[in-house]
Amino acid sequence: MPTGVLPAFGLVSAGNSVTDVKRQYMQAELDAAAVDKDLAGRQAKLQKVCQGFEAIFINTILQEMRKSIPDDGLLPTSNATRTWQQLFDNQLAETLASRQEMGVAKMLYQQLQESGSEKK
């Protein structure tokens, strides 16, 4: 929200100084609310991105774990089976990331939030 949203009513004089101070206070409150809203939106986006990164990380772990399982021939591995396993791994990774139990997203969020505050 741009600064100066509230209109100034007339010239500032001794009689209008209280009104002007109230207007300036209200404008400062509006500006602070706009900054807080923008900050909250950025934090929510950052959390979502960090959670997405954790899902990708978990999915990579699951794929590598699947590669370590030998194909013994007991159950044939078809393209359909591999596709189903990939879809299952994707959904499992997103579910695990949304539960925030591994802590990768939390650590990444804290690190990015600290680095973002140092730049300002």
Does 4 map to a domain? no
Contact 33, 92 (CB under 8 A): no
What's the confidence (pLDDT) of residue 12?
A: 44
Q: How far is CA 74 from the centre of its chain?
A: 44
- Using CA atoms, how far apart are residues 32 and 58, in angstroms rounded to an integer? 38
Does 1 map to a domain? no
What's the confidence (pLDDT) of residue 18?
A: 62
Domain range enclosing 33: 17-119
Q: Give the mean model confidence (pLDDT) for residues 24-28.
A: 72
Does 94 map to a domain? yes
74: buried, middle or exposed (CB in 10 Å: 19+, 13-18, 0-12)? exposed
Contact 71, 20 (CB under 8 A): no
Q: pLDDT-based confidence at 96, cuts 50/70/90?
A: very high
| Interval 29-83: pLDDT, tens | 767 666 667 778 888 888 888 999 999 999 999 999 988 887 777 777 788 888 9
Domain count, the chain: 1
pTM, two decimal places:
0.62
